Amino acid sequence: MNKIGYLYDPFFMLHDTGAGHIETPRRVEAIDELVTEKYDFTPIPSRLGSKEELLMVHDDEYIDWIEHGYENGVRMIISSDTIVSELSYDVALKAATSTKNAIEFFKQGLGKRAFLNLRPPGHHAEIITGQGFCIFNNVAMMARYAQNAGYAKVIIIDFDVHHGNGTQDIFYEDPTVFYFSTHEKNNYPFTGSEDETGKGEGVGFNRNIPYHDYLEDEELLSFYDRLPKDFDFDMVLVSAGYDLMKDELISSAQITFDGIRGVVRKILDYAGDKPVAFLLEGGYNIDSLVHSVDVTLEELVK
């Protein structure tokens, strides 16, 4: 049985999105209850890094704006779905900078697989702004921490039903981080077309696979044949968004639990003996989310 690292902190619940918001603290709490009851994972401690660390990924003016946002009366980023509450900056900073400890878990040889139960999610957060429930880009931060620790090349695989416009933005001109995304075409944020392949030195290191409405398992699984075969990666990071499942409310995709199990298996097979971390992104139907994460974890421990 593989040793699995698991990162969670109840502090992640304190980003207060308000009553009726689908990105609720219950999401991470319910996942933590599952992990506590069923699995015997190695805890990865959270950490509150410095705001300077965020400069690896984000613009300093944006970081300052969020840091002092609540006290200056800011209550949302771009639109009313991306909330700024009293502790949002601290929670988002902690989620993003805690990813460094997952790199340490790998670096110390404690295990090769990890699940990061993070909140708020991150993949819509671009260099200069958060949006789409995301404040700071967790997976992008983890990729930079990985590189600083000697993992030179990182591939980010994003199966959230939405395109990770933020992650694409951050690494668009960077040939050392490959971004691979499958996502619903007619859905927020309406980016991620197939011809967005990178810019400058980054051309060829960004691969989008947009799909039609009502996608089913078989077609989703076939997309994984298009993972890059010649990118010599040192680590695999997964933007694990479970809003592609058939019981989710904000997409039309019809993915079953067998389907997501197949996706996770394909990613693990692709990773081989390289470290792999799954970072929670979307997934808003609590029952479906917990079951999907459970299926993911069952594959991780095999």
Chain positions contacting Zn ion, by CB under 5 A:
160, 162, 241, 243, 282
CB nearer Zn ion, residue 162 or residue 266: 162
CB nearer Zn ion, residue 9 or residue 243: 243
Least Å distance, CB 238 to Zn ion, is: 13
Among 156, 124, 172, residue whose Cα is nearest residue 237: 156
How far is it, in rounded angstroms, from Cα 34 to Cα 230? 37
Least Å distance, CB 281 to Zn ion, is: 6
Question: How do beta strands 235-240 and 177-184 pair?
Answer: unpaired
CB nearer Zn ion, residue 100 or residue 162: 162
How far is it, in rounded angstroms, from Cα 162 to Cα 241? 8
Least Å distance, CB 182 to Zn ion, is: 12
Contact 257, 299 (CB under 8 A): no
Least Å distance, CB 241 to Zn ion, is: 4
Per annotation, catalytic residue among 15, 58, 123, 124? 124
Which two structure tokens, joined as six digits, stand for 61?
């003016």
15 assigned to active site: no
Question: Which residue minimizes CB distance to Zn ion?
Answer: 282
CB nearer Zn ion, residue 63 or residue 289: 289
Least Å distance, CB 26 to Zn ion, is: 17
How far is it, in rounded angstroms, from Cα 186 to Cα 129? 22
Q: What's CA 216's distance to the chain center, in Å?
A: 22
CB nearer Zn ion, residue 81 or residue 173: 81
Supply the residues annotated as catalytic: 124
